Amino acid sequence: MAKAKRQFWLMKSEPEAFSIDHLASKPAQVSPWDGVRNYQARNFMMAMAKGDLAFFYHSSCPEPGIYGVVSIAKEAYPDFTQFDKKSKYFDAKSNPDQPRWHMVDVHLEEKWKNPVLLSTLREDPRVAEMVILRRGNRLSITPVEEKHWRAVLSLR
Partner DNA sequence: GCCAACGTTGGC
DSSP 46-106: HT--TT-EEEEEE-SSSS-EEEEEEEEEEEEEE-GGGG-TTSTT--TT-BTTB-S-EEEEE
Backbone angles phi, psi at 118, to 5 degrees: -55, -40
What Rg do the C-alpha atoms of the chain give, in angstroms? 16
**What is the contact mask toward DNA in residues 31 to 50, using x (rule: CB under 7 A)?**
------xxxx----------
Q: How far apart are the C-alpha atoms of 11 and 105, rounded to whole Å? A: 12
12 binds DNA (CB under 7 A): yes
64 binds DNA (CB under 7 A): yes
Minimum distance of DNA from residue 59's CB (angstroms): 4
Minimum distance of DNA from residue 60's CB (angstroms): 4
Which residues within the stretch 87-146 sit at the binding site for DNA (CB under 7 A)? 93, 118-119, 122, 135-140
Q: How far apart are the C-alpha atoms of 25 and 16, rounded to whole Å? A: 15
Minimum distance of DNA from residue 131's CB (angstroms): 11
Minimum distance of DNA from residue 57's CB (angstroms): 7
Instruction: Catalog residues that contact DNA under the rule CB under 7 A.
Output: 12, 14, 37-40, 59-61, 64, 93, 118-119, 122, 135-140
